[in-house]
Chain A
Amino acid sequence: MKYVIVGNGVASVGAIEGIRRVDPDGEITVISEESSPTYGRPLISYLLAGKIGPERMQLRPVTFYDKFKVKMMLGTKVTGVDAKAKTVATADGHNYPYDKLLIATGGVPFIPPLSGKDGSGVYSFTTLAHAETLIDVAKNCKNVVVIGGGLIGLKAAESLHDRGVKVSIVELAPRVLSAAFDDKAGNLVAKRLDEVGISVHCGTQATEIKRDAGGAVQGVTLKDGTFLPAQAVVIAIGVVPASSLAKDAGITVDRGIIVDDSLASSDPDVYAAGDVAQAKDLILDENRVVPIWPNAFNQGFYAGKNMAGAASPYSGGLAMNAIAFYGLPTVSVGVVNPAPGEQGIEVADNLDEEHGTYRKLVFKDGKLVGYVLLGEIDIAGLYTGFIRFKFPLDAETKEKLVSGRPSILQWPEGFFDEQFNPVGAQEIV
């Protein structure tokens, strides 16, 4: 069996580990444009902040690829997939045959049509190379504007601030982290950013990046008329699935590559996983692109097992983010902003401004479907369990969850033993 994996992000690592659980010998080739072995992409903000050195970026030990018998072709771009001939073509003019192909190409930064965006001084923040560039940029800049107040924008802002740069964030939505958080949580985070000296401009939009006669960035003009002086701009609005290889090969693509429960695309020998895939969601009964790390790994892992012949259905991804800002830990999982008026929804929240803690639980049809925690996060995993296992909740248990006291001993009878003390227990005496 010949496996080819395009991309060497975390979905690719998951796939290698998944394939090897089932098939110890098949030939695995990874072809990827980036030239370093798989690194922790979210770690680029830790690198930029100076919290870790380059030696800590690798996701797996150097021996990983040898141990798993993987042929790595780094610094090589795939330019086309011929789904009929079952080959992939690379920019250096080679063709590689496959029996099973995994497209794990991730996402590309979205750059809006913004006047002045082309030219020097405007950066993205999604790769190791971007982080390395920004480390240099930070040395020669006093002010940077970050466009985008989502996870990546906030991480870029925090890291640049740690490098001694004065940072302003511009966000179109009325609050930062609008997807993962609600107003109360977003405001607590904004307050924390403000305290450390990062200025946040929400509910407005960058209309132009101003440059001087020589083309050097001077600053950013906002819709509300504000001018933010800056020597560099980071655009971090989000990523769009890098699905063009699939589309050009005639594979069904919506927002991302549509995959079934085995992570196969509309072509049964071509699979997709990670930020490029539009895969099943655990809670919502539909396929969604949820570009987060745990989903990318899991989709890769299940794709790998299925490519290797195991019938191992993917149970679905769960939107989740854990983010810490200057000592304020936050967790957001599942449905946290239910649509107003949605049937069967119940929300319970508890804000303690004095201690800077917040807890919000979202129930649907008597089950926990989402939560947000700020400050006190140690019980997060237990809540995630209630969501993942979809336990129906009686009034007493619900009350305990709402008051911040979830416990495994509240699980339905039988489920505890199934998970923690499966058959065999009864026989020991």
Chain B
Amino acid sequence: MKKIYPNKEVCIGCHLCEVACVTAHSKTKDHILAHNVEKAQEGLAPRRNVAQEGAVCVALSCRHCQEPMCVAACISGALTKNTETGRCEYNEEQCVGCWSCLMACPFGSIRRHPFKEKIVKCDMCAGRDTPACVEACPNAGLVFEDRGSD
């Protein structure tokens, strides 16, 4: 199944993926409103974040694991693995903000919502053909392809 693969050899740390992610997950789908209004008012936050150590950087987010630790840890059923699409899906309605998944994910892919007792996690842009972060990347720092992972 298709997954997003980050490549630290070519990532230049421009954060465009984060910008695109925020807009893609906004209500308005407008860059300026998403970043200047929805971030402050609704706590809209990027699902992908650029990590940097010295000169090396890479844009990280949920790997949509074959056997996700976050799903094992989720006490409410908000997180489930869809074995047909390969996605690790999140249903915000169900979430009670217990932070078990945030603790269990060994990749640090889950964050707290800035205001709500809910988490923020990549959904691989459900509904889009190519995830917004991959489209926005000016290099091959993020690619979306099938490498045989479930």
Give, as a whole number of angstroms, the nearest-CB distance from A120 to chain B.
31
The reply to whether B5 and A381 form a contact with Cβ atoms under 8 Å apart is no
Interface string of B10-33 (1 = CB under 8 A from A): 000000000000000000000000
Q: Is A423 an interface residue (CB 8 A)?
A: yes
**Cβ of B73 and Cβ of A324 under 8 Å apart?**
no
In whole angstroms, how far apart are the Cα atoms of A377 and B97 in the complex?
Answer: 13
Q: Which residues of B, 72-86, contact A by the 8 Å Cβ criterion?
A: 72-73, 75-77, 80-81, 83
A304 CB, nearest partner CB in chain B, Å:
12
A424 to B58, CA, bound (A): 17
Contact of B90 with A by CB under 8 A: no
Interface band, chain A: 35 or more
Q: How far is the CB of A323 from chain B (nearest CB, A)?
A: 8
Q: When the two chains form their complex, are residues A420 and B108 in contact, meaning their CB atoms are under 8 A apart? A: no
User: Contact check: which of B99, B100, B109 meets A294 at CB < 8 Å?
Assistant: B100
Known: A40-B77, A56-B94, A294-B69. A381 touches B104 (CB 8 A): yes
- Pairwise interchain contact A408-B103, C-beta atoms closer than 8 A: no
Interface 1/0s, chain A 31-61, versus B by CB < 8 A?
Answer: 0000000001111001000011000101111
Contact B63 A420 (CB under 8 A): yes
A350 interface hit (Cβ, 8 Å) = no
Interface membership of A389, Cβ < 8 A: yes
A294-B69, A428-B140 given; A320·B106 CB < 8 A: no
Contacts of A392 in B (CB 8 A): none
Minimum CB distance partner of B98 in chain A: A322
B53 to chain A, nearest CB (A): 4
Query: B96–A301 contact, CB under 8 A?
Result: no
Of A46, A389, A424, the contact of B106 (CB 8 Å cutoff): A389
- Is B136 at the interface (CB under 8 A from chain A)? no
Contacts of A329 in B (CB 8 A): 99, 112
Query: How far apart are the CA atoms of A298 and B65 in the complex, in Å?
Result: 14
Q: Complex Cα distance A43/B104, Å?
A: 18
Interface bin, chain B: 35 or more
The A-contacting residues of B in range 51-77, CB under 8 angstroms, are 51-53, 56-58, 60, 63, 67, 69, 71-73, 75-77
- Are B76's CB and A322's CB within 8 A? no
User: What A residues does B60 contact at CB under 8 A?
Assistant: 408, 420
Contact A322 B6 (CB under 8 A): no
- Is the Cβ of B63 less than 8 Å from the Cβ of A384? no
A41–B8 alpha-carbon span in the complex (Å): 41
List of A residues within 8 angstroms of B7 by Cβ: 421, 425
Cα distance A287–B102 in the bound complex, in angstroms: 26
**Chain A, range 317-355, C-beta contacts under 8 Å to B:** 320, 322-324, 329, 331, 333
CB atoms of A384 and B106 under 8 A apart? yes
Contact yes or no, B104 A40, CB < 8 A? no
A424 to B60, CA, bound (A): 18
Interface centre among A382, A385, A408, by most B CB within 10 Å?
A: A408
A363 and B100 alpha carbons, distance in the complex (Å)? 22
In the assembled complex, B132 has its CB within 8 A of some CB on chain A: no
Q: Are A422 and B147 in contact (CB under 8 A)?
A: yes
CA distance A381 to B106 in the complex (A): 5
For the complex, give the distance between the alpha carbons of A425 and B140 in Å.
10
Cβ–Cβ contact A294 & B73, under 8 A: yes
Using known A-B contacts A60-B77, A294-B72, A381-B109, determine if residue A324 contacts B5 with beta carbons closer than 8 Å: no
A208, B58: Cα distance in complex, Å? 61
**B97: which of A41, A56, A324, A420 is its contact (CB, 8 Å)?**
A324
The residue in chain A whose Cβ has the minimal distance to the Cβ of B5 is: A421
Confirm or deny: B107 has a beta carbon within 8 angstroms of a beta carbon on chain A.
yes
Set of chain B residues within 8 Å of A51, measured between Cβ atoms: 96
Query: Taking A409-B58, A421-B7 as contacts, is the C-beta distance between A381 and B97 under 8 angstroms?
Result: no
For residue B110, CB closer than 8 A to chain A, the reply is yes
Contacts of A17 in B (CB 8 A): 81
Q: Are B147 and A382 in contact (CB under 8 A)?
A: no
What is the CA–CA distance of A40 and B111 in the complex, to the nearest angstrom?
A: 21
Interchain CB contact under 8 A, A377 and B69? no
CB B7 to nearest CB in A, in angstroms, measures 6
CA of A248 to CA of B141 in the docked complex: distance in angstroms?
59
Report Cα–Cα, A378/B102, bound state, in Å: 7
Q: A56-B94, A293-B75, A428-B145 are in contact. Are A419 and B56 (CB under 8 A)?
A: no
B110: chain A residues at CB < 8 Å are 381
Question: In the complex, A329 Cα to B111 Cα: how many Å?
Answer: 13
Given contacts A410-B53, A419-B63, contact A381 B108 (CB under 8 A): yes
Tell yes or no: A1 within 8 A of B by CB.
no
| A residues near B69, Cβ cutoff 8 Å | 294
Contact A381 B107 (CB under 8 A): yes
- B129: min CB distance to chain A, Å: 18
Known: A21-B83, A297-B72. A409 touches B107 (CB 8 A): no
Residues of A within 8 A of B53 (CB): 407, 409-410
How far does the Cβ of A58 sit from chain B's closest Cβ, in whole Å?
7
Q: Chain A residues with Cβ under 8 A from B147's Cβ?
A: 422-424
CA distance A43 to B107 in the complex (A): 26
Can you list 13 pairs linking A and B with CB atoms under 8 Å apart?
A43-B76, A56-B76, A293-B75, A294-B69, A380-B99, A381-B102, A381-B103, A381-B104, A381-B107, A381-B110, A407-B51, A409-B58, A420-B5
- Report which B residues bind A (CB closer than 8 A): 5-8, 51-53, 56-58, 60, 63, 67, 69, 71-73, 75-77, 80-81, 83, 94, 96-100, 102-112, 140, 143, 145, 147, 149
